[in-house]
Every structure is written in C-alpha cells, then in structure tokens.
Amino acid sequence: MKCHRNMEVAFMVCAINPSLDLHTDSSELLQLQQKLLWLLYERNDLERYPMAMGTLADLEDQDPIPGKGNPLSIHLKAVQSAQKYYNNEHIYPYMYLAGFHYRHKDVREALKAWADAAQVMQEYNYFREDEEIYKEFFDIANDVIPTLLKETAAADSTGEEGEGGENAEKVSTKQPAAFSALHDPECFAHLLRFYDGICKWEEGSPTPVLHVGWATYLVQSLSRFEAQVRQKVSIITKEPECQEDDDHSSEDPRESRRRGPRRESKLEEQSSPPHAAPTSPSSQLLAAAQPKKLGEGGARRRSSHGLRGGDVDGTPKSPGADSIPSPMSQQQASPSPAGPMVVFQSEKMKGMKELLCAAKVNSSAIKLQLTAQSQVQMKRQKSTPAGDYSMSFLKRQRKSL
C-alpha cells in the first residue's frame, strides 16, 4: 500500500494508544482520536485506508458524536474500500463489521461477516508468522461464536417460556433476531462457510491450523442447530479439475511466499490418479462432460483465470462452449428454493458433508475428520531448484496436544 502524506497522518492517529492500564482507557485520548479521524474521513483521506475507517466506526459506535454518520455505513464503506483498492485481500474490515453486529446481537450478520473474513483467508497459506491472525480466528471459533450461540439459545428458551405470559411481548420485541437465529438456515450456512475458509487456509500450509480444541467447539456450535434446520442448507462440493498449467505455476518463485498458489491442481492430485490426456473421441466426450457434474458455471470461480477454463482436460475449447449452459448446469447452479446453498472448497469440509446434515451430530466422526492431517499439503509446497533434493518441509510434525 502506497501512502501519501495525509494517510501517514491517519496512520499516526490510529496508532494513538489510549490505554492507561489493562482495564482503563483515557477518555480524552479516545475523544481526540475520534475527532481527528472524523476530520480525516470528511476530507476523504481515509478512502484507501479501510482499517482506519473501522477504527472510526468502532469509536463512533461506543461514543457517538451528534450529527455524524452512523457506524454501520462507515463499516460498509471500509469493506468496499478493501474490495475496490486491495482486491479484497484484507480480513480486518470484515472483523470490524462482525464486531459491530456482535455487539448489537445481530447473529446472522455477524456470522456472515466472520465467514467473509475466512473466505479471504482461504486464499493464503498459514505460516507461523501469522500467529496474530490465528489468534483472532481461534478466539472467534472457540469463544465468541459458541458464546453467541449459547446466549441465543438461552434467549430462545426464555422466549418460549414467556410465550403467552404478560412479559412475552416485551421479550419478543427486545431480541426478535435472537429467537430466529438458531432456526435460520442462513446462519448455519454462514457457520459452514466460516469453517470451510479456515480449513482451506490450512491446506497447502507447512503448519497445521486445526486441532482437537477447534473440533470440540465446532461440534458444540453444530449441535445448537436442529436437524431440520441443518438439512435445509444445500451443500455442494466442487469437483477437482486437471490443470495442465500446474507445472508452470510451480515454477513461480512467489509460490513459496505467504500468498498461496491456486489449489485446484492439488485437489486433482489427491483425488484422481494420474492419467494421460484422452485421445479417442469417446474418452474425450466423457472427459469433457465430467467437470460439469456439480455446476461448473458457479462453483469454479477460483480457477477461472486466463485459459484455465478451456484446457482443463486436454481438449480444445470451442468459442461458444461456455456461453450456452446445459440444463443440468443451470439447474445445479441455481440456488435451491428450500434453503441457502454453500459451496465447499476445502477437502476436510467436503469429507464432512454427510455428517453435517445428519439427523444426529456424530461428534467423534467430525472430530476425526477436522483434525486429520491434510493430505493435499504434502503434494507441492514450493518450487525447488534443480539439484536440490532436500525435503525438510515433509519432516514438520503436527502439533502435539
């Protein structure tokens, strides 16, 4: 990110530390920071600084200044800034937005924002230098979300007990969203998207992310939703593609950096045995039809770059092949009217597809699947120069519990 002078000033304002001790903040410093950020915001100096806008929105939510904009609009503008100027590669605008909804007990929107943050992280690989981000997601998955769902369940039970009583109307008007959250398939779908992003973040990484602690709270969160609610969510698993240009992508020196490579080729290497390109007409037709089993049009966004969409199975791409979708792909790409649709990207969540919609939550099976060593991470970690036969990255052991 390139900063001009006004953005440098904004950075210094955001760096103001109002803490007097572990439990006390200076109200004067908070007010000074808030007023300075408003001045910069009104001058459009924060347009390319989404984290500064998130800080301003949090300050305004805690101590609003009369006549200023509402915090939610600032949070949404921060998200738009990250999407517009930084290719949607920042998680903290979503974290700020989720925190806002969490404080206001908007369960669905909070889960959606956390899921969006996890979807951003799935484009990266996890390294030990990412410990701060790991702690953020760890706290959300193992503390914040379970607590939020527990409070929602408690509010739901209180509403049911008070139904018909003289306080029923008062209770129902206080937290109408809380009562419907655990009966809302959208909330369950956002929870699945959140964990799918975390699992995808782990794939291809030299260091594991998930352990039994994550699995315990995942089972607890899943158990908050009844079977009929979970079964309303349509889960789609993307079929892996055969990427012929995968060998070329492995030569990119940036592959060993924090930004992870596209992973479609790794999924293919795991689930499909090596095979030669089809040569006979019948085999070409079969190979061309295979990738369209699960809605190719809407489920392959991560691999639809350049020519990858046309040479996935060794057959030449016709100019109008993708412009005329088949009835099968149209039917599968359209959302099911019964409930929301989730497209799983990670192998671990794909393996739990049946378990997530079962009538009874099988905690043992889910824990085994979530904590299993990811197989795709051993396929290709980074390019190695010619003559280098060291395989030290294969010797890294999983964290001991």
For 15-47, what is each residue's pLDDT tens digit?
999 999 989 999 999 999 999 999 999 999 999
CB contact at 8 A, 212 and 142: no
In contact, 187 and 181? CB cutoff 8 Å: yes
CA-based max dimension of the chain = 80
> Backbone phi, then psi, for 342, in 5-degree steps?
-125, 130
State yes or no: pLDDT of 397 exceeds 80: no
**Alpha-carbon gap, residue 236 to 353, rounded angstroms:** 9
Q: Is the pLDDT of residue 340 over 50?
A: yes
| Residue listed under structure tokens 């795709």 | 376
Please name the residues in contact with 255: beta carbons below 8 A apart, sequence gap of 6 or more: 249, 261, 382, 383
Cβ-contact 267, 380 below 8 angstroms: no
For the four alpha carbons of 275, 281, 284 and 286, in that order, the dihedral sign comes to negative
Q: Give CA angle at 227 (225, 232), nearest 5°.
A: 90
Whether 6 is in a domain gets the answer: no
Please report whether residue 43 resides in a domain. Answer: no
Rounded to 5 degrees, φ, ψ at 124 are -115, 170
**For residue 180, is it within any domain?**
yes
Task: Reduce the DSSP state of residue 343 to 3 states and report it.
Answer: strand
Amino acid at the residue 15: A
Give the orientation angle of helix 107-121 with respect to helix 92-103, to 10 degrees: 160
Q: Residue 155: what pLDDT?
A: 83
- Whether the pLDDT of residue 139 is over 70: the answer is yes
Examine the pLDDT at 91 and tell me if it is beyond 80: yes
CA distance 153 to 255: 44
Q: End-to-end alpha-carbon separation of the chain, Å?
A: 39
- Residue 338 binned pLDDT confidence (cut-offs 50, 70, 90): low
d(CA 199, CA 208): 10
- Report pLDDT for 339: 82
Query: What are the Cα distances from residue 101, in Å, to 30, 91, 144, 147, 173?
Result: 22, 16, 12, 14, 18
> Which secondary-structure segment (H or E) carries 341?
strand 341-344
Label residue 372 exposed, middle or buried (CB < 10 Å: 0-12, 13-18, 19+): middle
List the single range of 116-120, 153-157, 246-250, 295-299 with lowest mean pLDDT. Answer: 295-299
Helix or strand holding residue 218 (H, E): helix 212-223
pLDDT-based confidence at 106, cuts 50/70/90? very high
Measured distance CA(117)–CA(50) in Å, rounded: 14
| Chain-centre distance for alpha carbon 70 | 26
Number of compact structural domains in the chain:
1
For 48-84, what is each residue's pLDDT tens digit?
999 999 999 999 999 999 988 899 999 999 999 999 9
Reference 312, options 243, 239, 238; nearest CA is: 243
Write down the pTM of the prediction: 0.69
Residue 213: give the domain boundaries.
Answer: 126-158+173-247+257-268+333-377
* Structural domain contains residue 52: no
CB 16 within 8 A of CB 56: no
Using an 8 Å Cβ cutoff, are 220 and 361 in contact? no
* Residue whose token pair is 């193992």: 142
CA 259 to chain centre: 16
Estimate to the nearest angstrom the gap between the alpha carbon of 209 and the chain centroid: 14
If you average pLDDT over every residue of the chain, what do you get? 75
More confident position, 247 or 77 = 77
